[in-house]
Structure 1
């Protein structure tokens, strides 16, 4: 299964309500067969622009990142589900690349190693 990162902006809420929304989101991933690797709180801050969602104007939001493995065919349903959640302002899923080892890298480090071995 490919690895993905779900970045969500939640509306500004108290800690118990935020925890409930995150629990719902992670449970939705589990129900669809995803394996969650991590959850990171990136903090609450002012939004770069006002977001109007579900007839409310939002100026602040909580930023969270969920790292997970899942089948690609669940992503459209997951995003549709999150778009309908009244507490989620912006859901975004990004596919994470497979990490490249330094031996496979063709950057400056390899050039330095070649020049020092001469």
Structure 2
């Protein structure tokens, strides 16, 4: 399953009500087969600009980030459900890039560039490609000059 970050801006509310809202949000993820890896509370703060949502104007919000693993179709379902939730002012979903398994050691970094493995691969690719600076266009006219040039 792909990894996503779900960032939410929740309306200003007391802590018990905030707890029930977060429980409702997390149950929606669990009911669709998603896995919550982390919940990060960025706190209650002023919004950069006033925003209207569900008929109310909001100037402050609780900022919450969920790190989840779920299917692609589930993300669309969650966005649709959260757009109808009156406690959620704004919601955005971002795809998280997987970490590469590239192991970097000091020994390989201290090698001269010509001896590094990735540089040798680039040299091999460069040998197979046509050099655009030395390549001469062939006119296929049978003449040794281009007849349409002034």
TM-score, normalised with respect to structure 1: 0.87
- d(CA) in 2 for partners of 1:35 and 1:50? 33
TM-score, normalised with respect to structure 2: 0.69
Unaligned runs of 5+ in 2: 113-150
- d(CA) in 1 for partners of 2:45 and 2:36? 25
- Structure-2 residue corresponding to 1:14: 14
Report the Cα offset of residue 84 of structure 1.
Answer: 0.3
Of structures 1 and 2, the one scoring higher in RCO (CA 8 A, sep 6+) is 1
Report the Cα offset of residue 114 of structure 1.
Answer: 2.2
Unaligned runs of 5+ in 1: none
- d(CA) in 1 for partners of 2:101 and 2:25? 32
Number of residues of Structure 1 aligned to a counterpart in Structure 2: 112
**Alignment root-mean-square deviation, CA:** 2.1
Q: Deviations over 1:5-55 (max 9, x none)?
A: 100000011101111111000000001110111111011100011110111
Query: SS state of the match for residue 33, structure 2?
Result: coil
* Moved segments of 4+, more than 6 Å: none
- Structure-1 residue corresponding to 2:96: 96
Whether 1:35 aligns to 2:35 is: yes
Query: SS state of the match for residue 28, structure 1?
Result: helix
Report the Cα offset of residue 100 of structure 1.
Answer: 2.4
- d(CA) in 2 for partners of 1:8 and 1:25? 10
